C-alpha cells in the first residue's frame, strides 16, 4: 500500500509540473504575440519612418548660410564658413554650386551665362585662395 501511495504522489507531482509548464508556456507565447502586434523591426520600416526616428544633436554650432540659386546652403564648419565669406559672391557661388549641388562646370556656366572655361578658372583659383586662407588660420 505504501508503494501505491508513493506512486500516486509521483503521478500527482508529475501532473502538477506539467500543468505549470503548460501555463507558463502559454503565458510566454501570449506575451510574445502581444509584443509582435505592437513592435516593428527596423527592416520592416520605410525610409520615411526611419528618418522620423533619427535625431541629430547640433548644440552650439555656428552655421553660415549662403543663398545660391534661390536655395540656402548651410556650412557648419566655422573655418570653412569664414573662408567662404571672404570670397567675392560670384566665386563663392561657383564653389558652392560645384560642391553642394554637384553641378558640372558646363551646368554652372549655363546658369551664370559665362564660358565654361571661365567657371573652371574661377573655381580652381577660388579653391587655391580658400586653401591659403584656411592654412593661415591654423
Say whether both 117 and 91 belong to one domain.
yes
Using the predicted structure, report yes or no on whether residue 79 has a pLDDT greater than 70: yes
Say whether both 132 and 103 belong to one domain.
yes
Mean pLDDT of the chain: 88
Say whether both 41 and 69 belong to one domain.
no
* Three-class secondary structure assignment of 107-131: HHHHHHCCCHHHHHHHHHHHHHHHH
Q: Tell me, yes or no, whether 58 lies in a domain.
A: no
Say whether both 90 and 46 belong to one domain.
no
Say whether both 84 and 126 belong to one domain.
yes
Note the pTM of the prediction, 2 decimals: 0.55
Say whether both 41 and 83 belong to one domain.
no
Q: Tell me, yes or no, whether 59 lies in a domain.
A: no
Q: Torsion angle, CA of 14/16/19/20, rounded to 10 degrees?
A: -110
Confidence of residue 72 (pLDDT cuts 50, 70, 90): confident
Say whether both 132 and 90 belong to one domain.
yes
Q: Which domain holds residue 27?
A: 2-52
CATH number at residue 111: 1.10.10.10
Say whether both 47 and 70 belong to one domain.
no
Distance CA 131, CA 121 (A): 15
Say whether both 130 and 90 belong to one domain.
yes
Residue 134 has a pLDDT of 87
Residue 97 has a pLDDT of 92
Amino acid at each position: 500500500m505504501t508503494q501505491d501511495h508513493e506512486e500516486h504522489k509521483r503521478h500527482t507531482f508529475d501532473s502538477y509540473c506539467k500543468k505549470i509548464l503548460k501555463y507558463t508556456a502559454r503565458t510566454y507565447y501570449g506575451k510574445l504575440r502581444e509584443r509582435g502586434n505592437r513592435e516593428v523591426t527596423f527592416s520592416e520600416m520605410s525610409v520615411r519612418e526611419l528618418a522620423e526616428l533619427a535625431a541629430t544633436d547640433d548644440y552650439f554650432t555656428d552655421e553660415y548660410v549662403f543663398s545660391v540659386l534661390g536655395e540656402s546652403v548651410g556650412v557648419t564648419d566655422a573655418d570653412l564658413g569664414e573662408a567662404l565669406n571672404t570670397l567675392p559672391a560670384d566665386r563663392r557661388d561657383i564653389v558652392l554650386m560645384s560642391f553642394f549641388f554637384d553641378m558640372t562646370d558646363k551646368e554652372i556656366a549655363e546658369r551664370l551665362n559665362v564660358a565654361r572655361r571661365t567657371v573652371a578658372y574661377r573655381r580652381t583659383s577660388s579653391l587655391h585662395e580658400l586653401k591659403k586662407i584656411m592654412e593661415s588660420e591654423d
